[in-house]
Structure 1
Amino acid sequence: TVLIWTQDTPDTPWQKKALCSEKFAEVVWRVSWSLSGNILAVSCGDNKVTLWKENLNGGWECVSEMEEKTQGGN
């Protein structure tokens, strides 16, 4: 599970929100924000990297998915 933590103002408490309602198929190894801060890359144990972007309703959508191919072509 990937959690996004947000805070509206410095005086309000931090709030957490799950990136997506479904769990990732494998362990999440790393997350990284884009330089602009609006796209989140998630790297998982199944050799997939997914890119996520917040929509206008405040939900997160997967906008791209990449998978590393193994030498055997699988």
Structure 2
Amino acid sequence: MKKVKVFITLKESVLDPQGQAVKESLHNMDYKNVNDVRIGKYIELEIEDSANLHQQIEELCDKMLANTVIENYRYEVLEEVQS
């Protein structure tokens, strides 16, 4: 069994209203040195190890986890997970 960490972020060309709201709140709290905030998603999966593991992860991300029209994703596969 492998643990997979999936990081999903909006593409640079996509407006991030959540990020803008957080940035404005930080500025209101006198953290004026924060220039930009982008909000994303983090997902952890435990998945059976297989020869085509990376292909399966990419299919999961493309079909379900990320909206690839407006989001990018990357993932990390960690060592075996103890059950």
Normalising by structure 2, we get a TM-score of 0.27
Higher strand share: 1
Return the structure number with greater helix share. 2
Q: TM (normalized to structure 1)? A: 0.29
Q: Which structure has the greater CA radius of gyration?
A: 2
**Bigger relative contact order (CA 8 A; separation at least 6):** 2
